[in-house]
Structure 1
Amino acid sequence: MEQVDVLVVGGGINGAGIARDLAGRGFSVLLAEAQDLASHTSSASTKLIHGGLRYLEYYEFSLVRKALLEREVLLKSAPHIMRPLRFVMPHDQAMRPAWMIRAGLFLYDHLARREWLPGSHGVRLRGSVLGAPLQDRFSRGFVYSDGWVDDARLVLLNALDAKARGAEILTRSPVLRAQRGEQDWQATIATPAGDRQVKARALVNAAGPWAESFLRGVAKPARHEALATKSLRLVKGSHIVVPRRFTHDHAYLFQNPDGRIIFAIPYEGDFTMIGTTDVEQPDEAIAGFARACISEAEIDYLCTQASRYFKSPVQPDDVVWSYAGVRPLLDDASGSAAAITRDYALETLHDGAAPLLSVWGGKITTFRKLAEDAAGLIGDMLGQKGTAWTHDALLPGGDLAAWSGKKPGRPDQDIEHFVAAVQQRWPWLPPAMARRLSHAQGTRIEGLLGSFKSLDDMGAHHGAGLHEAELEFMHREEWACSANDMLWRRSKLGLRLSAQERGAVAAWCDSKAP
């Protein structure tokens, strides 16, 4: 039976981040994900790197500060898949008073040090490009800074870095059984190649929405101890994508009469993404790794709330795509779903038998800090702590300045220099394709394009600039096996391909199946 130091269960952002951190500290790590990387919650976020302005109303100052401290750390680590983003908050006099918003933004600006993100300020909307898409009743507003991230690729980059540092990443490989012993965990993993038996000195439960059910069903105790004392509240968040509602590069934050907020964010060039909702889910909603789906009521809610602000109403018939994910929120006895904390808790069990660490809750912005804390706890339990190292480390593809020959500057400037360098090196690339691949791959683009001299070298074209060489690269280097993997997680090209083209990609994937 093979032996590793740590078995990580779950290939979302927390599992991938923990595997990366542990591998970088010298531990032997095996990550087992039941489906594709980021196949549920971690690819269904609002795709923001943010402190969480609205959490200030719930006095979550510690969480907001922790997230704000991480904001620029993350933006610098992978400037190809992240970018700073300015948000416009129109002032609705029937909602929160202006003095309250100013006070909240002042706190937001000063709870953590900013190196280069600009602070907040008031803005006159009437007569400006920022106010043009909005109803005339919105004459003034506020602008503040946060960031945007390709969430699914963020998970992928963490898994790639973990692999580069010695971890093994298994996708489509559910853990069938994990028995806790006095010295180690013995696990059975159902891989595509057959069952594998693994011994691990410690186990990390990062199964997201399934973290509680994993401990109550799959994991077996050594004696009669309880493997978990905490519980989750499952809250579905859904988003819609509609044709572009504005042409500038800012996003909007809209306040709703129910006290919640929604965002309207520039998305994939030609679209606007609107979300999110908060709908509590029963445990059975995720039975058998069921995929969350948006409801008609949620579509109506998002359209109605967005239409309170935009001049041009958003109708359900405008929706070209939607997605939903179930957030595993730490149950803190809050009344409403919107009030439940987005902070995380790490629960350890180390009572003489093999160590267990379970991840409860969390948000994508704080994943790196969560992983650092988790790796430190695992190291303490195994007597081999190692050194924290991820704070200043780049994720794969993120070394843009070194590759383009420019002095490192602001991340948003570095990516523009990099795109220009890519266009100079491969001048035959159409500009839109060069930009898309630069953002998706960063310096990993060299492994994709290599010595190609023309588009013909990239093989058959499947639409929207997607060629067979890119399919091969995603399949070979990025654990992508299905059309959904390639078109909705590794990329968002599913928005641009016809049904026939998506079918051709699915057929290509089927041809690669063992």
Structure 2
Amino acid sequence: MKRPPLAWWNWRQAQEVIVVNLTEPGATPRATKIAKMQQLSATPVLIVGGGINGISTFRELALQGIPVIMIEQGDWCQAASGALSRMIHGGLRYLETGEFSLVKESVEERDRLLANAPHYVAPLRTTVPIDSWSGGLINAGKRFFRLSERPSRRGALIIKTGLAMYDLYTRQYGTMPHHQLHSQRATQARWPDFADWVKCSASYYDAWISAPERLGVELINDAEQANSQALALNYLQLLSCDGENVTLLDTLSGQRVTLRPHVVVNATGAWIDQLNQRLAVDKPAKKLIGGTKGSHLIVRHPQLLAALNGEMVYYENQEGRVCIMFPWFGHVLVGSTDIRVDNPDDVVCDAEEQRYILESLRFVFPGFDVKDDDVLYTFSGVRPLPASDSTLNGRISRNHSLVLLPPQAGRDFTTLCLVGGKWTTFRKFGEQAADKVLNLLGESRKVRTDQLAIGGGKNYPAADRRAAWLADLGQRYPLPPARLEQLLQRYGTLAAEIAAFICQSADAPLSGLADYSCNELRYLIHHEQVQTLEDLLLRRTLLAISGQLTHQRVSEINILLASELGWSADQREQHLATTLAHLASLHGLTGLYPREPREGVSYVSNA
């Protein structure tokens, strides 16, 4: 049956319909949301995919008053959005491919994140080691004019030209200091451990993000608080489609929800083509995605950490491929790879990738013996790049685009596909997607987000106001100053809300991790849609990626989570076993043995 115009369903009137008594005594927020969805027969917008681009689109639409629904079959930012290089950057290397508009947009959005999410995004001084002054000129010209895809090393003249162009965008759209070129003597003085092939260096500023997964959750919470009719639910899978209605499955309870959407936003990243096939019903959809796998390592190496001294090294390996390393919570983050993959499910950093990354690291710092045993944690994700015939993965555009699939025979709703994109530009991509959806709904934008603070970035105190802000917080909540400072570092100004929750009832530090308290974790469990132990260890906290996990800590947190979610003893033990298996297979944490760590030894390595 062909769908009538949008007037077939007055969704603004429907907003009033769902305001009924759905909250029974003792009902969880999750149960209440599912009950709301079951009361609905239709929704103007269904977003499928809870990565950063889907989340951004959800926030944009929710702030315009649209009763949008977003579902994610796993946890928020679980896949590629949780496997980024932890950089918020202006896209320096995109100048080489002539993607000037992407660089402009990236610089603008980088600086907006510095302003809107100062609790998680901070400037990062970056150094580029260079092996010659004039190398790579001919091949760079060929690459720019698409006459060659062969990677090659870049000399100082090429890099300085790129950084000068970068400065033009920074001067016009950003606030970072300009680049500098350093002689061999100056480079050796600052970087005595660089390899002998380094003849000079360049430095400039970009930014890094400490907790991208947390930022995603805060975007969701902001949206739901601003619009009570906007619903976001993780662990909810799009099970099937009959061409008019979609059936959703709660993978935790087995409950099903059937909805008739007017617009489906396909924000599933590397899974876009798979979802399009499911939605098309009887007509194959065009291939849109050609993803590549990127893997990273967290290594424990005090000498390397000291050598970096708070800076990032942005370097080329022997092949001329770009790699990065920078300090990461007392360790060093190193990456990455760029490998074509056909199946985005359960990608992992394999032994060959780890060898490749460590060899690239030794190419720059040959005096540091970084072994496999020094690897604390690995992570890997699939970049949702547009389908491309390029033989070189690095040449595939990192820009984003919207692909509109209008209703057709066998599919009664419009599908909007979010193709490509990168973390730095998520707000802009979400804005563009939301504007397209608003146009389809006959609505207009009411709220802009370019200067809208996110979560704990709201009213974040400047450095000269930090002490006064903490002192005021200390007068309201009887917590030690060091504890309040810790909460501010972890959550920004949400520290005030969390401190209030902590003080509502008796609290105690975890026996195996005194830096965290039981009530702090209880807050995260009940306010941030925590459903699994991995949600808590990998995405609501930095415990896993910062190399702080031991069996004792994982087990203790699992007991707390089980108690809060009402699991039986059997469920608790099975969940622990499953989590340990996932940590080992997906992140290389094969040392989480049921024993106490020896003094000075962390059982989170590959040893």
Work out whether the TM-score is over 0.5: yes
Cα distance in 1 for partners of 2:429, 2:452 equals 16
Residue among 404, 415, 423 paired with 1:348: 404
Identify if the C-alpha distance between structure 1 residues 416 and 367 changes in structure 2 by more than 3 Å, giving closer, same or farther: farther
- 1:8 and 2:47 aligned: yes
Cα distance in 2 for partners of 1:240, 1:416 equals 35
Give the partner amino acid of 1:105.
L
Q: 1:90: which partner in 2? A: 129
Cα distance in 1 for partners of 2:201, 2:416 equals 45
Task: Assess if the C-alpha contact under 8 Å between 1:10 and 1:207 holds in 2.
Answer: yes
Cα distance in 2 for partners of 1:496, 1:331 equals 38
Task: Assess if the C-alpha contact under 8 Å between 2:295 and 2:335 holds in 1.
Answer: yes
Task: Assess if the C-alpha contact under 8 Å between 2:507 and 2:518 holds in 1.
Answer: no
When the two chains are superposed, the root-mean-square deviation of aligned CA atoms in Å is 2.5
Identify if the C-alpha distance between structure 1 residues 416 and 92 changes in structure 2 by more than 3 Å, giving closer, same or farther: farther
Cα distance in 1 for partners of 2:526, 2:467 equals 24
Q: 2:11: which partner in 1? A: none
Residue among 199, 205, 214 paired with 2:266: 205
Residue among 262, 272, 276 paired with 1:215: 276
> Offset at 1:115?
4.2
Deviations 1:484-511 (A, max 9, x none): 2112211212312322111221232233
Mean alpha-carbon deviation: is it higher for 241-250 or for 446-455? 446-455
Task: Assess if the C-alpha contact under 8 Å between 2:247 and 2:256 holds in 1.
Answer: no
Task: Assess if the C-alpha contact under 8 Å between 2:180 and 2:203 holds in 1.
Answer: yes
- 1:466 and 2:516 aligned: yes
Superposed counterparts of 1:260-271, under 5 Å: 260-268=321-329, 270-271=330-331
Residue among 356, 370, 375 paired with 1:314: 370
Percentage of matched positions with identical amino acids: 28
Task: Assess if the C-alpha contact under 8 Å between 1:17 and 1:158 holds in 2.
Answer: yes
> Offset at 1:16?
0.6
Residue among 455, 474, 478 paired with 1:396: 455
Larger Rg: 2
Length, aligned pairs only: 489
Q: 1:238: which partner in 2? A: 295
Q: 1:422: which partner in 2? A: 470
Give the partner amino acid of 1:213.
Q
Identify if the C-alpha distance between structure 1 residues 458 and 198 changes in structure 2 by more than 3 Å, giving closer, same or farther: farther
> Offset at 1:179?
3.8
Q: 1:54: which partner in 2? A: 93
Q: The residue matched to 1:397 in structure 2 has which SS?
A: helix
Cα distance in 1 for partners of 2:195, 2:558 equals 43
Q: 2:235: which partner in 1? A: 172
Identify if the C-alpha distance between structure 1 residues 346 and 454 changes in structure 2 by more than 3 Å, giving closer, same or farther: closer
Cα distance in 1 for partners of 2:397, 2:116 equals 26
Superposed counterparts of 1:83-232, under 5 Å: 83-93=122-132, 95-112=153-170, 113-124=172-183, 126=185, 130-135=190-195, 137-138=197-198, 140-149=200-209, 150-166=211-227, 167-181=230-244, 185-190=245-250, 192-193=252-253, 194-217=255-278, 219-221=279-281, 228-232=285-289
Cα distance in 2 for partners of 1:511, 1:68 equals 45
Task: Assess if the C-alpha contact under 8 Å between 2:80 and 2:382 holds in 1.
Answer: yes
Cα distance in 2 for partners of 1:416, 1:90 equals 35
> Offset at 1:451?
7.2
> Offset at 1:420?
6.4
Q: 1:475: which partner in 2? A: 525
Task: Assess if the C-alpha contact under 8 Å between 1:242 and 1:272 holds in 2.
Answer: yes
Q: The residue matched to 2:273 in structure 1 has which SS?
A: helix
Normalized per residue, which structure has more strand?
1
TM-score (norm 1): 0.89
Q: The residue matched to 2:383 in structure 1 has which SS?
A: strand
Give the partner amino acid of 1:111.
Y
Identify if the C-alpha distance between structure 1 residues 397 and 214 changes in structure 2 by more than 3 Å, giving closer, same or farther: same
Q: 2:14: which partner in 1? A: none
Cα distance in 1 for partners of 2:480, 2:418 equals 43
> Offset at 1:205?
0.7
Q: 1:381: which partner in 2? A: 440
Cα distance in 2 for partners of 1:473, 1:451 equals 7
Cα distance in 2 for partners of 1:415, 1:225 equals 57
Residue among 309, 328, 337 paired with 2:393: 337
Mean alpha-carbon deviation: is it higher for 471-480 or for 128-137? 128-137
Cα distance in 1 for partners of 2:564, 2:506 equals 22
Dislocated runs of 4+, deviation >6 Å: 453-456
**Which structure 2 segments of 5+ residues have no match?**
1-38, 136-152, 567-607
Q: 1:65: which partner in 2? A: 104
Residue among 441, 448, 455 paired with 2:491: 441
> Offset at 1:13?
0.2
Task: Assess if the C-alpha contact under 8 Å between 1:133 and 1:246 holds in 2.
Answer: no
Task: Assess if the C-alpha contact under 8 Å between 1:21 and 1:375 holds in 2.
Answer: yes
Cα distance in 1 for partners of 2:486, 2:89 equals 24
Q: 2:354: which partner in 1? A: 299
> Offset at 1:430?
6.6
Identify if the C-alpha distance between structure 1 residues 196 and 20 changes in structure 2 by more than 3 Å, giving closer, same or farther: same
**Which structure 1 segments of 5+ residues have no match?**
405-413
